[in-house]
Amino acid sequence: MKQANEYDVLIIGAGIAGIEAALTLGDAGYRVLLVEKEGSIGGKMALLSKTFPTLDCASCIATPKMAAAAHHPNITLLTYSEVQEVVKNGEADFSVKILKKPRYVDLDACTGCGICETVCPVIVSDEFQYDMRGRKAAYIPFDIAVPKKAIIDLDNCILCGSCERECPASAIDFTQEPETLEVKVGAIIIATGFKLFSPTLRPEFGYGRCKNVITAMQMDRLLAPTRPYNSVLRPLDGKEPMRIAYILCVGSRDRKVGNPYCSQICCMYSIKQAQLIMGALPLADVAIFYIDIRAFGKGFEEFFNQTQAMGTMFIKGRVIVVEEDKEGNVVVKYEDMDDGGRLKEDTFDLVVLAVGAMPNSDITKVFKNVKIELDEVGWIKQVDPNNNPATTSVPGIFVAGCAAGPKDIPDSIVEADAAAAQCMAYLNEHKYGRKR
């Protein structure tokens, strides 16, 4: 029998890829430790509005899987925790140190009622809403969080004691301290996803300088069921924008910032948002500035044609600079490539930057006696992407989802299942992790 600190598989990252791999392995009888650094599992998918090209509700797909992972008998879930060190022991297993950060809330006692959040007097920027509204120092990460338990942000807490006094379950515990857990596992799946490109690296597009320039992830939050406001509003004055522009390839296919690759998702999520905006703001005009539209997946071309037929204006043009006029409107100056490269400009109420996906491979630094190979850009390298897409340069360590490169949700799920299957084959080969 396995000891309490022994697991068949460690999965690092509990976005949709990590959750899918955990469920596949758990259903097959393997003991899984699923570690997530945030206060809730779900990753970026839990924060999205809808998926392309079907416009299915993203949270409707993600939430049942999140709940299934949290209640699966073969899956142990560690949220608000970070893997700090991994050492490979010969051929068969790994020793892992995990930092369990204090939430200052008793998870067993907390009912997720939100009273601590209500009475907390401190308001800070809400990172789960991409800083478009505030949250309290005592907070539940978001509406569909799993686990739906509070966290005390001690860095911003003023120690007034309001949450402790008012909590009906007496769940607030300021005596909690960081805890280091040591576990042994037979195999590891890295599912740490991707980072979003910082548009401040392309200052000509106005992010941070023009108040009504936002990122596409912020727009997705404005369109999501758990959105920060009850409508699509521009930041400067809270008005509903009537003219909205998208600028594609911000941080993708751009050697100036070291990202020569296509992020694969930006064209389609922009087209998706254009359709959703037409539903949320029926009188609004939407324009998309693009170099190429890459609609390569199943149903993508039809989705693009449908969006164009609905009235979205596609402008083949290279944006040169974005500026702000006296009323806070956004002036876009661009080369019209369908008009011989002639310089033109147009004014919009709101501009959305379709930022690309960046490698999130910092986790590889915690592996002490083995080196996980990265590709030339920084994604975790798939040694045999065609035949064994989940294999890395280290036997027993596998990769799933966007940790290996940008891809959409269906491809992330498929690769997560591939990682789980290859992980099972590896464990069986080494006589480790037989079904319990």
How many C-beta neighbours within 10 Å does residue 149 have?
A: 22
The pLDDT > 70 percentage for the chain reads 98
Domains and CATH numbers, the chain: 6-101+178-193+360-429 (3.50.50.60), 115-166 (no CATH), 197-357 (3.50.50.60)
- Using the predicted structure, report yes or no on whether residue 434 has a pLDDT greater than 60: no
pLDDT of 388-405, one tens digit each? 899 999 999 999 999 999
Query: Rounded to an integer, what distance in angstroms lies between the CA atom of residue 187 and that of residue 414?
Result: 19
What angle, rounded to 10 degrees, do the helices at 16-27 and 409-429 form?
Answer: 40
Per-residue pLDDT, 266: 97
The rounded mean pLDDT for the chain is 95
- Using the predicted structure, report yes or no on whether residue 432 has a pLDDT greater than 90: no
Query: Rounded to an integer, what distance in angstroms lies between the CA atom of residue 332 and that of residue 61?
Result: 37
What's the mean pLDDT in 229-246? 95
Per-residue pLDDT, 2: 57
User: Which residues, listed in sequence order, are joined to residue 152 by a DSSP beta bridge?
Assistant: 138
Tell which wins on pLDDT, 258 or 310. 310
pLDDT category of residue 3 using cuts at 50, 70 and 90: low
* Neighbouring C-alpha atoms within 13 Å toward the C-beta of 318: 8
Per-residue pLDDT, 433: 65
* Phi, psi of 400, rounded to the nearest 5 degrees: -140, 145
Residue 246 sits at the vertex; the CA angle it makes with 319 and 56, to the nearest 5 degrees, is 150
- Using the predicted structure, report yes or no on whether residue 68 has a pLDDT greater than 90: yes
Q: Amino acid identity of 21?
A: A
What's the mean pLDDT in 124-129? 95
Q: Are 30 and 427 in contact (CB under 8 A)?
A: yes
Query: Rounded to an integer, what distance in angstroms lies between the CA atom of residue 26 and that of residue 76?
Result: 10
pLDDT of 27-51, one tens digit each? 999 999 999 999 999 999 999 999 9
Radius of gyration of the chain (CA): 23
- Using the predicted structure, report yes or no on whether residue 270 has a pLDDT greater than 70: yes
How many C-beta neighbours within 10 Å does residue 240 have?
A: 14
- Using the predicted structure, report yes or no on whether residue 1 has a pLDDT greater than 60: no
Per-residue pLDDT, 244: 98
What's the mean pLDDT in 151-170? 97
- Using the predicted structure, report yes or no on whether residue 305 has a pLDDT greater than 60: yes
What's the mean pLDDT in 66-83? 98
pLDDT of 247-267, one tens digit each? 999 999 998 898 999 999 999
Q: Are 33 and 14 in contact (CB under 8 A)?
A: no
Q: What is the DSSP string of 365-378?
A: GGBSSS---B-SSS
Q: Cα dihedral angle (379, 384, 388, 394), rounded to 10 degrees?
A: -70
pLDDT of 344-369, one tens digit each? 999 999 999 999 999 999 999 999 99
- Using the predicted structure, report yes or no on whether residue 209 has a pLDDT greater than 90: yes
